Structure formats: structure tokens, C-alpha cells
Amino acid sequence: MAGWLNRRRDRDDDVTARSEVTGTTSETVSGTEERDGGEVLLFRSRDDDTDPTGTGSETVAGSGPRVVQVPSTGTEGEVVDAELVDDDAPVVPVNLPGELADYVSPWQRDVQRRAVVPVWLRDKTEARTAALWAASYAGHHAAFHAVRLPLYGGVLLARSPRGAGRVIAATARWLTDAEAAPLRHEAVRVTDATEYMRLARLRSERQRTRLALFATGTLAAAGTGLALMFAGPAWLPGLTVAGLVALLGKIGAPADRPLTGRAVVTHKVPKLTDDMVIRALSALGIAEINKAIAKGGNGISFPAPITRDGPGFRADVDLPYGVTAVDIIERRDRVASGLRRPLGCVWPEPAHDQHAGRLVLWVGDRDMSQAKPAPWPLAKKGTADLFKPIPFGTDQRGRPATVTLMYDNVLIGAMPGAGKTFALRGPLLAAALDPLVKLWLYELKGTGDLGPLEPVCERYSSGADDESAEAALLGLRALRDEVRKRADIIKRLPRDVCPENKVTAELAKRNKGLRPIVMAIDECQNLFTHPDHGPEAAELATAIIKLGRALGVILLLATQRPDAKSLPTGVSANVGIRFCLRVTGQLENDMVLGTSAYRNGVRATTLTPKDKGIGYLSGASDDPQVVRTYYVDGPASEAIVTRARALREAAGTLTGHAIGEQVADETRAASVLADVAAVLVAGEDKVWSEIIVTRLAGLRPDQYKGWEPAQLAAALAPYGVKTVQVWGKDEETGVGANRRGITRGDLDRAIAKHQPRPVDAPRPASSTSPNDSAGTSPEDDNG
Ligand SMILES: Nc1ncnc2c1ncn2[C@@H]1O[C@H](COP(=O)(O)OP(=O)(O)OP(=O)(O)O)[C@@H](O)[C@H]1O
């Protein structure tokens, strides 16, 4: 085949384009690629007609594009023998022609449209925040100056004599036509008599006119003043004088000393520019970035303009090929240094909906840890609904971050003192403000951090001892039973009432047995690492997290040791909402935030000790967010809980611990029954209650001291052990009598029935224990 190939080298990607023309047929080579061994792949297309683009390189019709192989030779502009092209080579379309985008209709292009109306105007909360800010800003200015009005008055008064002097001097100069004096002096100096006479005449005319004007003005002003003084309102003269003094004071003010001070001091923050971003990125020591910059900066681009985004700047950056957003995130401190901004201002994030090389760099005006925490929206008024989003914190931009507790569980992890308890307290306070929700709180640090919530808890325990760990375990057992019971209820509900087989807000309102239960364990590592209770607690927590979600059972766990030993894998793998405050390593980071979080650039390891209450929140929205929790301290929590308790009293939903009821549960039963069994002496078949309570007080003074026979009867009754009249003898006097007591037979039967079962063991069908509603109030049995 006769013809020629014209080769040109693409400047950027070293792709060479060749075109071959043969008679009326044109074969267009859209690109080549050099292979090892000097072989060149030639991407060619044919067209029997003319090139429609006129570019000579975009022919796509005819026999279709082909890939042909030619030996690699020559340099730019070299003509290659057409015979070298093998017509029989397999024809495969490889790359789209470069300018194809020109053919694609604009509406087919993948473009990211910027908001027509800014987000802060569209979003109700943000618009409200902006309006409130503007109002408070104006209000602050008004208040600042109003307080200083007397001071301003004094200053004006002091400056008014100088102002009067200036007015008199200016009037005198005007009356005497002083402004033309230099011209008259010049006429005298050059002895120009005609000019001087003309100027002198002009001056006399001016003086006459100005004098007349001045006299009329003065007389009119004086007349009006006198008329107003006698005929006008009493306050007018004073106001006029004050106005005159103020005017003279203003005129007498030194040019360099303004009357009013500044009501606000603004900290000027440097505007973020592309140069600054490139400079910061180039200082990271990433070879690919340096190469890209050495080429003239082509490798770093900005797909959208740098804009204001909340109280900071947002830059969307396309990093050089091969560099990922994570590479930048792990060098956050160096980026901050490169930008010359405090670390707490610089928040690089991956753009999860884009490619891995897209970085969203948000640079705040103020260090996030230094900014005043936003007030908790429900602190003063309002109620919560756990089926809807509840306030959790604010992101770097000050936008509210919410979590929806229903159908999820929460894991909070951090190193000691980073703000876990505060983070846990927020959702719990919100739960308290939903009168339908039952709160079971177990605080295993023993400092009473969750104490303010005690008045609304159905179950509550605080302590770092074995008993508290056991109480938490008992709570988990009861919760597991609750999950089973609810599953049973849901299963039996008609489809139209419960179409999704899960507890809905409607069902929770209508059916007391389906009211949401929020159980929180603070410092849960103390339970999971407990030598006796740990394994069972881990198993229970995992089962509850897996099964309880849809059944209105929500587990919140907070730990200061998020490692494999202290946090069961079943928990860390299945929990939905995760909040990780500062941690030290990748392992802890991923235990809380989920596997691969660290690799994906969600790194709580980059937080510093100053970042109290700041962490990564994942599972609450599409992408993990940096969130600072609301700061609600002890006294503020108590005030909120007082409100929450009043709400619950009004709704009639205060139960259990909150009203001094002892919550009986099956597992607790096991210990009461076991304790009673332990104090019975061998061969004793019938024992008086009063003897049993005395012995129990000796066995566990903490638990049973002060118990009366009636209390024992109440504690045993739910498990089928009734106190009856039994024959016995007084232990001191040996006198026999018939008194209230129990029989060993009843006790043994109850123990056999209420032995703790393995976590997922099926419930005996015949069980009619009144404690089937473990942990629920008696009213729930109606539900
Ligand atoms: N959102 C916040 N804003 C400002 N400061 C906060 C915030 N949250 C917590 N802090 C501060 O951090 C300190 C520690 O908080 P917190 O007691 O919740 O930590 P912790 O992780 O539970 O500690 P520990 O592991 O010892 O229990 C608090 O005293 C509080 O001053």
C-alpha cells in the first residue's frame, strides 16, 4: 500500500498521532503507544469520505478504527513507510479521540453544577443561623454605642470650643474673601495694576453679597431660635443646643481621633488562594507533587473556585496522578504548616463521591478547638423524638451534625479525657427528653459522670467494682430477653400494622411493650474485660446489636480502650454509628470507626490533645464528618433532666429506678434465689421469712441490710415463691410457732426454672414467669 504517515508527538502524554492517506480513502491514526522491544501500537481508524472534523485525526466511520503494529523508529516529524503497516493486524478501538467531548452535547457531560442559591440560603437552619448572627451583630453594635453615649457627649462637648473656633475662622475667611488674597498679592508683586483693581472690585462685591447673606442668615436663625424657644415644645431648645454642641464637637475633632471606638475586633484571616494551596502541597515532600509542580504546576488543578464555606475557605483540589487525598490527610500537620495556619483550622478530607485524587481542603478562620462550643439546641426548651435526628454536635463549618438513634447502635471510643462521656451524654439527654424512651444507664467509671440522668432512668448503676459490672451484665441479659420478647410481639402483629417488621414511632406509642429502650454502658471495657462477666457480656452485646436494632432496642457503648481485647469484635464490626475522638493508633482508630477507616483517610489519630470533644463521626451521614460535640456540663444536664422528668411525669412514663422501684429481672432473680438457697441450712424444709432476711443481711449486708419479711416476699413473688404460714422455731428461744415463710420445695422449683440460659437458647414455651417483661414495668404487660 502506497501512502505516508505523518507523526506528531503529543506534548503532555507522549502519545503520537499518525495519519495515513491512501487515494480517496483516509486512514486516521488516533494514537500510538510504545511497547517494550521498540514496538509501537498504532491506533488507526478509516474513513472513505472526508474527515468531518477537519482535524485530520478524528475519522471514525468507514471500516472502523483498528490497532496495527509498526516497528518503533525515528523521531518527531519522521515519515514512516506505509508498507510497515500490517493491514491484517487485529482492529480494536482503544482510546476515544481527544476532541470527542466537542461532539458530546453539553447536557451529556459529567459536570458538577454549583448551587444556584447558596446553601446557607436554602437550608432553613443555616438561614436562621445567618439571620440570628446578623441580628446579634447589629444588636451588639447598638448596645456597645448606647452604653457609651454619655462618654461621646462629654467628648463632643470638650471638642465644641475648638469646633466653634474653626467655624468662626472659616466664616471670617469667607466674609473677607480670603481665598483670593494670594491672587491679589501676586498682582501687587508683579505690579499689575489693572489686574489688582479688577480683583479688588471683585472682592468688594463679594464682601457685600456675603455680608448681606451672613446678616440675613444670622437674623433668620436667631429669629427662628427665639420663636421656637418661646413657642415650641420645651425640649426643643435643649435638643437644638445639644445638636449644635455635637456639630461643633464633630467639627472640632482631631482628624486622627475618631469619636467612637470599635464595637468588634475582627481577626483578619488571610484569604486562601491557589498559590497558597500549591505552596503547602509542595512542602509535603511527595515526589509526584514535586514533579507536577516542576513541570509548571499542571499536575495540580482546582475543579471549582476556592469559595467561602461557613467560617472558612473551601478548596477542591485535583492532585497529581497517583497522589491520593489520603496522602495529604496523613500529613495534615505539614499542610497546616505550609498554609501558615493553626492545625485546628486545617481539615483536608477525601471527596468520597469523586476519584481518590480529589481533595477537599477546608481551612477555617479559627482553630476548631478554640471556638466556643455551640449551645445544645434542646438545652433550654424542646423535646426529642428518637425516631428523628437528634442533635449531636457541629462540624468544622458550624453546621449541626445529627444522629438518628432509632435502628442503630452507637460506639464511642477515645483515649482518656478526650470527651467520650460528654459525647455520650448528649444523645442520652435527648433520649431523656423523649418521654417514651426507657433509659438504662451503667457507668462503670464510678465517678457519677452520668449521675445527672439518674432521675429519669429505669435502671441505673454507677461504680468501678465487680457489683457494677455484674449489674451491667444483668442489664444486658434483661435486654437480650427484651429483644426476644419484642421479636415475638412484632411477629404476631398483623402485616398492615407492622409492614416492615420493625418498631415504628406509631407502634411505640400504641404498644407499651415496644417503647424504645436506650441502654448505655460508659467505660464498657471494664465489663468486657471482666474475668467472670466479660465473655458473656460480649456475647450478649453482640447479639443485642445484631437483633435489637429493628426492635427499638438501642445500645450505646463508650470505651477509653478501643482495642481487640476490650472491645468484642462482634460489637466493633456491627455497630452502626461510630464516634472516634482522639486515639493514638491505626488499630484503635479502625476498631471504633470500622475496618479501613484509617486507610480511607478517616483518621482520629491526627487530632491533638487540644481537640477536646472533637472527633470523626461515621455512620450518621453518607460520609464521615469531623464533629465537635455540644458541651453540656453537669449543672446544665441536671436542668435538662428536671425538664425531662416533668415531661415523663406528665406522660406517666416514669418507671423503675426513677421512682424508687426495684426492677426485678430474671437474672437478678437467679442471684436472689441463689442467695436464699445459700442461707438455708441442710435439712431445713420450711423457714420463716424473718430468719431468712436476718441471714441474708449477714451474707450480703450491702444488698439485704434492713430488709423486712414483706420485702423478701415481694422479691420472691415474681418467681413463683410465695410466702405461706410455715411451722418453725425461734432460733434464740427455741419456741415453735406458725409464721410467714417459704418452703424449700418452692425455692428449688423456682431456681430450676430461672437458671440463666445461654444467650441464644430458645425460651421454654411453658414459661409463664411474671418476669417475661424483664426490665419493663408491670404496665408493659398490657402492651
Ligand atoms: N464538646 C466539648 N467542647 C469542649 N470541651 C469538651 C467537650 N467535650 C469534652 N470536653 C472537655 O474534655 C474534658 C474530658 O471530657 P470527658 O470527661 O467526656 O472525657 P472522657 O473521655 O470521658 O474522659 P475519661 O476517659 O477520663 O472518662 C471535659 O472536662 C471537658 O472539659
566-584 per-position pLDDT tens digit = 888 888 889 999 999 999 9
Whether ligand 1 lies within 6 angstroms of the CB of 628 is answered as yes
CA of 396 to the centre of ligand 1 (A): 18
Same CATH topology for 403-634 and 664-782: the answer is no
| C-alpha cell of residue 457 | 432512668
Whether ligand 1 lies within 6 angstroms of the CB of 422 is answered as yes
Ligand 1 atom nearest to CA at 416:
25
Rounded Cα gap, residues 379 and 640, in angstroms: 6
Whether ligand 1 lies within 6 angstroms of the CB of 612 is answered as yes
Atom 15 of ligand 1: nearest residue by CA position: 419
Asked whether residue 508 carries a pLDDT value surpassing 70, the answer given is yes
Whether ligand 1 lies within 6 angstroms of the CB of 416 is answered as yes
CA of 192 to the centre of ligand 1 (A): 90
Query: Which residue from 257, 254, 302 is spatially nearest to 281, judged by alpha carbons?
Result: 302
- Is residue 568 a contact partner of residue 476, using CB atoms and an 8 Å limit? no
DSSP state at residue 301: B
| C-alpha cell of residue 327 | 496522602
CA of 547 to the centre of ligand 1 (A): 31
Asked whether residue 87 carries a pLDDT value surpassing 80, the answer given is no
Tell me the pLDDT band of 388, cut-offs 50, 70 and 90: very high
Ligand 1 atom nearest to CA at 422:
18
Range with lowest mean pLDDT among 65-69, 98-102, 111-115 = 65-69
- Is residue 5 a contact partner of residue 19, using CB atoms and an 8 Å limit? yes
What is the reported pLDDT for 53? 38
Please provide the DSSP assignment of 602-656 as one string: --GGG--TT-TTEEEEESSSSS-EEEEE----HHHHHHHHHHHHHHHHHHT---G
Domain 274-364, CATH among 1.10.287, 3.40.50, 3.30.310, 3.30.980? 3.30.980
Whether ligand 1 lies within 6 angstroms of the CB of 468 is answered as no
Rounded Cα gap, residues 100 and 305, in angstroms: 26
Whether ligand 1 lies within 6 angstroms of the CB of 559 is answered as no
Give burial (CB, 10 Å; 0-12/13-18/19+) of 195: middle
Query: Average pLDDT of the chain?
Result: 79
Considering only residues 622 and 297, tell me which one the structure prediction assigns the higher pLDDT. Answer: 622
Query: Which residue from 741, 736, 724 is spatially nearest to 679, judged by alpha carbons?
Result: 741
Atom 8 of ligand 1: nearest residue by CA position: 613
Atom 23 of ligand 1: nearest residue by CA position: 417
CA of 420 to the centre of ligand 1 (A): 6
Whether ligand 1 lies within 6 angstroms of the CB of 445 is answered as yes
CA of 374 to the centre of ligand 1 (A): 15
Range with lowest mean pLDDT among 210-219, 313-322, 674-683, 770-779 = 770-779
Phi, psi of 237 (to 5 degrees): -60, -45
CA of 671 to the centre of ligand 1 (A): 36
Tell me the pLDDT band of 107, cut-offs 50, 70 and 90: low
Mean of pLDDT values over 720-748: 86
- Is residue 571 a contact partner of residue 538, using CB atoms and an 8 Å limit? yes
Range with lowest mean pLDDT among 91-95, 423-427, 710-714 = 91-95
Give burial (CB, 10 Å; 0-12/13-18/19+) of 53: middle
What element of type H or E holds 189? helix 181-189
Rounded Cα gap, residues 420 and 567, in angstroms: 15
- Dihedral sign, Cα of residue 685, residue 687, residue 691, residue 694: positive
What is the reported pLDDT for 240? 86
Whether ligand 1 lies within 6 angstroms of the CB of 160 is answered as no
Amino acid at 491: K
CA of 573 to the centre of ligand 1 (A): 26
Residue from 370, 396, 412, 421 to probe ligand 1 pocket by mutation (most atoms less than 8 Å from CB): 421
What element of type H or E holds 592? helix 586-593
Identify any residues that bridge with 557 across adjacent strands, giving them in sequence order. Answer: 411, 521
- Is residue 580 a contact partner of residue 593, using CB atoms and an 8 Å limit? yes
Mean of pLDDT values over 604-609: 90
Whether ligand 1 lies within 6 angstroms of the CB of 376 is answered as no
What element of type H or E holds 119? helix 119-122
Mean of pLDDT values over 728-734: 81
C-alpha of 146 from chain center = 38
CA of 421 to the centre of ligand 1 (A): 6
The structure's pTM equals 0.59
Whether ligand 1 lies within 6 angstroms of the CB of 418 is answered as yes
What is the reported pLDDT for 722? 87
204 to 8, 175, 191, 216: CA distances (angstroms): 88, 10, 20, 18
Ligand 1 atom nearest to CA at 449:
17
For the chain, percent of residues with pLDDT exceeding 70? 80
Atom 7 of ligand 1: nearest residue by CA position: 613
CA of 450 to the centre of ligand 1 (A): 13
What is the reported pLDDT for 563? 84
Roughly how many angstroms between the first and final C-alpha of the chain, as a whole number? 90
| C-alpha cell of residue 554 | 438501642
Annotated binding site for ATP: 414-421
Whether ligand 1 lies within 6 angstroms of the CB of 603 is answered as no
Amino acid at 152: Y
Q: From edge to edge, which strands make up the β-sheet containing 358-364?
A: 307-308, 312-318, 358-364, 346-350
Most confident segment among 280-284, 474-478, 577-581: 577-581
Cβ atoms within 10 A of the Cβ of 143, count?
A: 11
Ligand 1 atom nearest to CA at 614:
1
Atom 16 of ligand 1: nearest residue by CA position: 419
Mean of pLDDT values over 175-180: 90
Atom 25 of ligand 1: nearest residue by CA position: 416
Identify any residues that bridge with 79 across adjacent strands, giving them in sequence order. Answer: 6
| C-alpha cell of residue 596 | 479501613
Whether ligand 1 lies within 6 angstroms of the CB of 631 is answered as yes
Whether ligand 1 lies within 6 angstroms of the CB of 369 is answered as no
Whether ligand 1 lies within 6 angstroms of the CB of 629 is answered as yes
Mean of pLDDT values over 718-729: 83
CA of 611 to the centre of ligand 1 (A): 10
- Is residue 692 a contact partner of residue 741, using CB atoms and an 8 Å limit? yes
Rounded Cα gap, residues 749 and 751, in angstroms: 5
- Is residue 31 a contact partner of residue 95, using CB atoms and an 8 Å limit? yes
Tell me the pLDDT band of 74, cut-offs 50, 70 and 90: very low
Rounded Cα gap, residues 300 and 306, in angstroms: 14
Whether ligand 1 lies within 6 angstroms of the CB of 739 is answered as no
Phi, psi of 27 (to 5 degrees): -115, 120
Whether ligand 1 lies within 6 angstroms of the CB of 419 is answered as yes
Residue from 422, 445, 607, 630 to probe ligand 1 pocket by mutation (most atoms less than 8 Å from CB): 422
Rounded Cα gap, residues 630 and 613, in angstroms: 8
ipTM of the complex: 0.96
Rounded Cα gap, residues 746 and 273, in angstroms: 82
Ligand 1 atom nearest to CA at 414:
21
Rounded Cα gap, residues 419 and 605, in angstroms: 15
Rounded Cα gap, residues 603 and 618, in angstroms: 11
Whether ligand 1 lies within 6 angstroms of the CB of 357 is answered as no
Which segments of 386-516 does DSSP mark as H helices, in order?
420-432, 466-492, 505-510
Tell me the pLDDT band of 158, cut-offs 50, 70 and 90: very high
Q: pLDDT tens digits, residue range 186-195? A: 999 999 999 9
Rounded Cα gap, residues 612 and 614, in angstroms: 5
What is the reported pLDDT for 662? 65
CA of 558 to the centre of ligand 1 (A): 13
DSSP state at residue 115: P
Whether ligand 1 lies within 6 angstroms of the CB of 535 is answered as no
Q: pLDDT tens digits, residue range 34-55? A: 444 444 344 343 343 434 333 3
212 to 106, 164, 203, 550: CA distances (angstroms): 76, 21, 14, 95
- Is residue 526 a contact partner of residue 464, using CB atoms and an 8 Å limit? yes
Whether ligand 1 lies within 6 angstroms of the CB of 420 is answered as yes
CA of 612 to the centre of ligand 1 (A): 6
Rounded Cα gap, residues 40 and 89, in angstroms: 13
Tell me the pLDDT band of 771, cut-offs 50, 70 and 90: very low
DSSP state at residue 19: E
Q: Which conformational region is residue 781 in: left (phi greater than 0), alpha (psi within -120 to 50 degrees), or beta?
A: alpha
Q: From edge to edge, which strands make up the β-sheet containing 724-729?
A: 686-688, 736-743, 724-729
Q: Using alpha carbons only, give the angle 684, 687, 689 rounded to the nearest 5 degrees.
A: 155
Per-domain boundaries in the chain: 4-100, 149-251, 274-364, 403-634, 664-782
CA of 264 to the centre of ligand 1 (A): 31
Ligand 1 atom nearest to CA at 418:
21
Which segments of 308-350 does DSSP mark as H helices, in order?
325-329, 332-339
Q: Which residue has the cell 499536575?
A: 299
Q: pLDDT tens digits, residue range 514-546? A: 999 999 999 999 999 988 788 889 988 999 999
Taking 3-state DSSP, the helix, strand and coil percentages for the chain, each rounded to the nearest 5, stand at: 45, 15, 40
Fold entry, domain 664-782? Arc Repressor Mutant, subunit A (1.10.10)
Phi, psi of 725 (to 5 degrees): -70, 120
For the chain, percent of residues with pLDDT exceeding 90? 35
Whether ligand 1 lies within 6 angstroms of the CB of 530 is answered as no
- Is residue 506 a contact partner of residue 555, using CB atoms and an 8 Å limit? no
* Three-class DSSP category at 194: helix
CA of 378 to the centre of ligand 1 (A): 20
Fold entry, domain 403-634? Rossmann fold (3.40.50)
What is the reported pLDDT for 113? 72
Rounded Cα gap, residues 373 and 632, in angstroms: 10
Query: Which residue from 131, 619, 625 is spatially nearest to 400, judged by alpha carbons?
Result: 625
Ligand 1 atom nearest to CA at 425:
18
Cβ atoms within 10 A of the Cβ of 460, count?
A: 22
Tell me the pLDDT band of 457, cut-offs 50, 70 and 90: very high
Identify any residues that bridge with 400 across adjacent strands, giving them in sequence order. Answer: 394
CA of 369 to the centre of ligand 1 (A): 12
What element of type H or E holds 277? helix 274-282
CA of 572 to the centre of ligand 1 (A): 22
What is the reported pLDDT for 84? 43
Query: Which residue from 221, 237, 86 is spatially nearest to 167, judged by alpha carbons?
Result: 221
What is the reported pLDDT for 95? 53
Asked whether residue 665 carries a pLDDT value surpassing 60, the answer given is no
Tell me the pLDDT band of 104, cut-offs 50, 70 and 90: low
Ligand 1 atom nearest to CA at 393:
1
Atom 2 of ligand 1: nearest residue by CA position: 613
- The interaxial angle of helices 634-651 and 420-432, nearest 10 deg, is 20
